[in-house]
Amino acid sequence: MRAWRLPIKDRWCVGIDLHKDTLFVVAFDPRSGEVIERRLACKCRAKIVEFFRSLGRPNLVALEAVGFYRWLWELLEPVVDRLVLADATQCRARAGRRIKTDAEDAANVMELLMAGRLPLAWAPPTPVAALRDLTRHRNYLSRQHARVLHRVKSIMLLVNRPGPARLRAPGLMRYLKAQRDKLPAHLAEQLEMAVDELVLLERQLDRMEQRLKAHLKQPGFAAVAECLESFPGVSTVIAATVLAEVGDFRRFGDRDAISRYAGLNPRLFSSGETTRTGRIAKAGSRDLRWALVQAAWVAVRCDPAVRRLWLRLRKRLGGKRAIVAVARRMLRWMWSASRHGQLYQPAA
């Protein structure tokens, strides 16, 4: 994200370094030149609100992005004049200091904010953040389901009875009922426990997917979700994941910007007259890249135009690198279609 360049004359600048139990605040008063430092306990939310209300106005508050920042963001958003999210990694890289303390980190955020050099991260609005929580939990459950199935296949191979290629809980129940007499007792017991896990995970997955469908019908998501689901290989889960990780497509000015955000752009190495590209950057959301690659594999099988594109790229890049290129191309198509309110039109 770009640094935030806004005039800060006569505005309080506040930097926050957040931890699980405490937060450290450094605030600068532009009128008196006074610097206020304060350590606050995270559990004392009333005191946090009271402290920020006591600051001078107008004020600009920057919060470092950590995995659990959301509660503080929602607490401060109605209290302060302007709240921004800082990229913690880039803030540290720009610090130019070898000392690392809470006070130094908060002061660094505050100084970068004052200088107009603060590297920003994107803070999703509350509805998008709620959708992100749903999709990431659903994808976590899906990974857990895959791990259980992997263990089941390993057990089957131990006894040279590979069973069906695809399994869900009912199929494993039938397999276990038919093969129990041919299995060692301890392996049969492990398969029974795997059935219990699969039943629970599949029930939770079904519940989460129903929640996602209901969420995508909300006015803020319905039109874009319909646009995304018109693309080949894009199911409700994939559309919800893309929306949760990207948010508003209109915040990206061009196709290259959204490719960089997803980490699907190739790395560039340029020195003198030598220029070459490397592997993809893998910046940003892993869930977004996973969703796009899954959609690309399905699109290659069911859409002739996408398959032709993949076959052409495969000759030069190989199969896996070509599918990543297709995923990047599909994201760019989604960006263009969502901005113009158009559905995907398959090529003749």
Domain containing residue 106: CATH number? 3.30.420.140
User: 85 and 155 in one domain?
Assistant: no
**Residue at a domain's end among 216, 234, 258:** 216
User: 131 and 108 in one domain?
Assistant: no
User: 226 and 175 in one domain?
Assistant: no
User: 227 and 200 in one domain?
Assistant: no
Burial 83-116 (b: 16+ CB within 10 A, else e): bbbbbbebbeebbeeeeeebebbbbbbbbbbbee
Structural domains counted in the chain: 3
User: 318 and 245 in one domain?
Assistant: yes
User: 95 and 200 in one domain?
Assistant: no
Task: List the chain residues with pLDDT less than 70.
Answer: 1-9, 97-98, 270-271, 274-275, 347-348
At 302, which amino acid appears? C
Q: What is the pLDDT of residue 275?
A: 67
Residue-range definition of the domain harbouring residue 167: 126-216
Contact 264, 325 (CB under 8 A): no
245 falls within a domain: yes
Contact 244, 128 (CB under 8 A): yes
5 falls within a domain: no
**Residue at a domain's end among 89, 104, 121:** 121
User: 140 and 81 in one domain?
Assistant: no
Contact 169, 195 (CB under 8 A): yes
User: 96 and 29 in one domain?
Assistant: yes
pLDDT tens for each residue of 87-133: 988 888 888 766 789 999 999 999 999 988 999 999 999 999 999 99
Contact 103, 24 (CB under 8 A): yes
**Residue at a domain's end among 104, 121, 138:** 121
User: 226 and 203 in one domain?
Assistant: no
Give the number of other CB atoms < 10 A from CB of residue 131: 25
φ, ψ of residue 231 to 5 degrees: the values are -80, 145
The number of C-alpha atoms within 13 Å of 87 and in the hemisphere containing its C-beta is: 16
Closest CA to 330 of 303, 295, 302: 295
d(CA 28, CA 13): 5
345 falls within a domain: no
Contact 56, 29 (CB under 8 A): yes
346 falls within a domain: no
d(CA 86, CA 91): 7
- The model carries a pTM of 0.88
181 falls within a domain: yes
User: 52 and 27 in one domain?
Assistant: yes
257 falls within a domain: yes
Q: What is the pLDDT of residue 167?
A: 83
4 falls within a domain: no
User: 262 and 171 in one domain?
Assistant: no
117 falls within a domain: yes
User: 265 and 203 in one domain?
Assistant: no
Q: What is the pLDDT of residue 2?
A: 44
Lookup: tokens for 259: 């490719």
